Structure 1
Amino acid sequence: MIIVYGLKNCDTCKRALKWLESEGIEALLHDLRDDGLEDGQLRTWVAELGWENMLNRRGTTWRKLPAAQTKGVNEAAATAMMSAYPALIKRPLFDLGEKRVIGFRDQEKEIIKKEYK
């Protein structure tokens, strides 16, 4: 089973869950706001995927942050912001067990298919 980390009202997460179902792949949504996330897990993902890949700079949450907070962001600051504001974590993030995949483009779909077909 894949655990999909995201937000229940995120359109991309909804599309990802529908796609997984259509592919016959069992999945469970872990809502980052409602279900929370342990700091240790976030740090593990940052080490594995890179904070630059995980930080969602395109969303409303990022745009609403003060410029002083967003200017010159480094790994420690990004990790702290993602912990405080879960919507700053790029989504969906797929936990495939041994590896994690972030995003929902064709490239990520192919990786998931290879793991589960």
Structure 2
Amino acid sequence: MFTLYVIDTCDTCRKARKALEANGVPFKTHDLRKDGLSASLLEHLLERAPLLEVVNKRSKTWRDLPQEDKDSLDANSARQLLLQHPTLLKRPLLDTGSGALKVGYRDGDYDKISG
């Protein structure tokens, strides 16, 4: 079963969820804000997508970080920031259970995925 990592208030996450439902794809959701982000889950996600690809530098959370944190971003500090602020993860994240993690969503991205 697929896992869709979301934040419930995110419009793009809602679109991704609807696209999976429309294609009859069985999936479960994991709300990063409500369900949390553990170190082991973060590592699981990072095994499937590059670290810099999953940090959302367009988010309000990123903009609100101290400039010092942004300037000194490296693999270790990024992991710590993601654990402290799960909303820094780009979303939605679609984990198909095999191979790469699909980061983000644009209309049509899930059209070839079937249940």
Q: TM-score, normalised by structure 1?
A: 0.87
Partner letter of residue 56 of structure 1?
Answer: N
Stretch moving more, 100-109 or 26-35: 100-109
Give the match for residue 14 of structure 2: 14
The one-character-per-residue Cα deviations of 1:63-104 (angstroms, maximum 9, x if unpaired) are: 011101111311111111011100001100011011321111
Partner letter of residue 90 of structure 2?
Answer: K
Q: Which has the higher contact order (CA 8 A, sep 6+)?
A: 2
Give the match for residue 31 of structure 1: 31
Size of the aligned set, in residue pairs, is: 114
3-state SS in 1 of match to 2:4: strand
Q: TM-score, normalised by structure 2?
A: 0.88
Q: How does 1:1-117 map to 2 (within 5 A)?
A: 1-99=1-99, 100-105=101-106, 108-109=109-110, 113-114=112-113, 116=114
Contact in 2 for aligned 1:8/1:29 (Cα 8 Å) = no
The one-character-per-residue Cα deviations of 1:24-51 (angstroms, maximum 9, x if unpaired) are: 1122221001111220121232243111
Q: Unaligned 5+ residue runs, structure 1? A: none
Contact in 1 for aligned 2:90/2:104 (Cα 8 Å) = yes
Partner letter of residue 25 of structure 2?
Answer: I
Partner letter of residue 95 of structure 1?
Answer: D
Q: Unaligned 5+ residue runs, structure 2? A: none
Stretch moving more, 44-53 or 82-91: 44-53
Contact in 2 for aligned 1:12/1:104 (Cα 8 Å) = yes
Identity of aligned residues (%): 34
Contact in 1 for aligned 2:20/2:110 (Cα 8 Å) = no
